[in-house]
């Protein structure tokens, strides 16, 4: 009998935003898998490490997840990761695969999940607090109200059309193109703020496009709220 794979969302960075369910499954798992080249360098692992009971009693393994848009490289790495997971499942082990935020929102994990599920194994997704909800809370304000729409946009694929959408726009992982994005934000109407590394020790908050550091890191999230209509 094969084991079961859990894709566990660990939230955006603050260990106190881990859910009770995530913590329970992490501590019940035979194997904890984290994205990265080394376990200790994995951000997902850093979030949970102080909450793992008896880490010496379980296997903790890093899985290579390179940041690239090369589809062949991505497919090969996803397949390799799925194969590693399936080796443990074939030994009737429970695997908790950790991922930042929520596994259903632009998560590399979901590609591994789909491969393992397609191969006939038992899988389950454990939701985590999303980065854009955490960032909005950090800014101490709501994300959308009444009839307003919410648009979640991956910044690395171009945002020109998204900036013209009505409602609230969330630009995720904006760090890689920050100089270009900052210039476009200066020409965009509305209330604009950015949270870099939300919930982490090196968190920074910027309350206008002019304040944004063009060298901001990969985990930078921008919230653009539509200008309030008068009358």
Task: Give me the pLDDT at residue 228, please.
Answer: 66
pLDDT, mean of residues 170-189? 90
* Average pLDDT score over the chain: 93
Radius of gyration of the chain (CA): 19
Q: Which CATH code for domain 4-126? A: 3.40.1010.10
Global pTM reads 0.93
At 155, the pLDDT band (50, 70, 90 cuts) reads confident
pLDDT at position 12 over 90:
yes
User: What is the C-alpha separation between 122 and 56, in angstroms, rounded?
Assistant: 26
Q: Is 181 left (phi over 0), alpha (psi -120 to 50) or beta?
A: alpha
Q: Into which CATH architecture does domain 131-225 fall?
A: 2-Layer Sandwich (3.30)
Domain chopping of the chain, boundaries? 4-126, 131-225
Of the candidate ranges 75-89, 106-120, 152-166, the one whose mean pLDDT is the lowest? 152-166
At 25, the pLDDT band (50, 70, 90 cuts) reads very high
């Amino acid at each position: 009998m094969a084991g079961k794979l859990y894709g566990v969302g660990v939230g955006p960075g603050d260990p106190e935003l881990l859910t009770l369910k995530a913590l329970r499954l992490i501590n019940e798992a035979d194997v904890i898998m984290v994205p990265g080249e080394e376990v200790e360098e994995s951000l997902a692992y850093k979030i949970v490490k102080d909450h793992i009971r008896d880490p010496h009693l379980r296997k903790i393994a890093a899985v290579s997840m390179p940041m690239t848009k090369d589809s062949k490289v991505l497919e090969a790495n996803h397949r390799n990761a799925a194969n590693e997971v399936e080796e443990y499942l074939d030994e009737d082990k429970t695997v908790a695969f950790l991922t930042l935020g929520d596994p259903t929102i632009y998560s590399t994990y979901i590609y591994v999940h789909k491969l393992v599920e397609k191969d006939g194994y038992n899988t389950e997704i454990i939701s985590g607090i999303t980065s854009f909800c955490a960032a909005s809370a950090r800014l101490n304000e709501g994300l959308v109200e009444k009839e307003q729409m919410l648009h979640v946009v991956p910044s690395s694929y171009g945002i020109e059309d998204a900036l013209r959408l009505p409602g609230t726009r969330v630009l995720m992982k904006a760090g890689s193109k920050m100089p270009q994005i900052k210039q476009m934000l200066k020409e965009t109407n509305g209330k604009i703020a950015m949270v870099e590394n939300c919930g982490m020790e090196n968190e920074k908050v910027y309350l206008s496009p002019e304040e944004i550091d063009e060298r901001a890191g990969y985990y930078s999230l921008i919230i653009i709220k539509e200008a309030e209509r008068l009358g």
